[in-house]
Amino acid sequence: MRIATWNVNSISARLPRLLAWLSSAQPDVLCLQELKCADDAFPRDQVGELGYAVACHGSGRWSGVAVLSRVGLDDVTRGLVDQPAYEGVVEPRAVGATCAGVRVWSVYVPNGREPGHPHYAYKLRWLEALHATVLAEADPNRPFALLGDFNIAPTDDDVWDISLFTNSTHVTDAERKALAVLRDAGLTDVVPRPLKYDRPFTYWDYRQLAFPKNNGMRIDLVYANQRFTDAVRDAYVDREARKGKAPSDHAPVVVDLHG
């Protein structure tokens, strides 16, 4: 079983690349983030032609998430337990579904903008709601995973030059503590295992030749319980999907499970 996550940075802008990637990579389940489209605008027919059912949660603004599955799509949940609002809006940043017995959540954690900004405080509250959702759904007998753009680099090695991130979001102690709380809840960061290359970044800015220079960050993560991680036989970042014409600024993260 192949499960993947990808921040596509606009489903409409990236649709040709998404369809090509679905055809070539053949994931059974794909979690998408930053759709930038409302639910009724999601290209269900196009992905449906490739055999995928869709559970999406979007409003047409800057967020939006989805789960695509060709192995079943049950128990769809939109939004987190006690999810906070920002400027009066509860944003569509999380959707959960059960696919062939595996419970997955596609999550798009708020950026935070900068420490001290109201959006940073919102990000930390949102992460608390994510933790509450994990606890509410805890079931050691069922494979469970959070997949998506966490907008947090777990360690200093997960950014190209930590000295450039002084007083920046994505690397603060409070954000990393939120990841530690998820680990304390029984989840494991799946991707830091033997990989095909060093420093498996998942995001590179469009500016200043960041991708050719590999000035990236690892902020797209897969956090999973023991039943899920025990089944992992491979995990990698598909850097090829970041190349070429009009790519997303993120690359897909792919996890292959036994069975």
pLDDT tens digits in sequence order for the chain, 259 residues long: 999 999 999 999 999 999 999 999 999 999 999 999 999 999 999 999 999 999 999 998 889 999 999 999 999 999 999 999 999 999 999 999 999 999 999 999 999 999 999 999 999 999 999 999 999 998 999 999 999 999 999 999 999 999 999 889 999 999 999 999 999 999 999 986 545 556 689 999 999 999 999 999 999 999 999 999 999 999 999 999 999 999 999 999 999 999 7
- Which CATH topology does 2-257 take? Deoxyribonuclease I; Chain A (3.60.10)
Phi, psi dihedral angles at 100 (to 5 degrees): 50, 40
Q: Is the pTM of this model over 0.85?
A: yes
Phi, psi dihedral angles at 174 (to 5 degrees): -65, -40
- Domain chopping of the chain, boundaries: 2-257
CA distance 210 to 98: 36
Q: Say whether 167 counts as a known binding-site residue.
A: no
The answer to whether residues 200 and 115 touch, using CB atoms and an 8 Å cutoff, is no
Q: Say whether 189 counts as a known binding-site residue.
A: no
206 CB contacts (<8 Å, ≥6 apart)? Answer: 249
Q: Say whether 205 counts as a known binding-site residue.
A: no
Q: Say whether 149 counts as a known binding-site residue.
A: yes
The answer to whether residues 187 and 229 touch, using CB atoms and an 8 Å cutoff, is no
The answer to whether residues 250 and 6 touch, using CB atoms and an 8 Å cutoff, is yes
102 CB contacts (<8 Å, ≥6 apart)? Answer: 1, 3, 29, 142, 143, 144, 145, 228, 257
Catalytic residue IDs = 108, 149, 250
Q: Say whether 45 counts as a known binding-site residue.
A: no
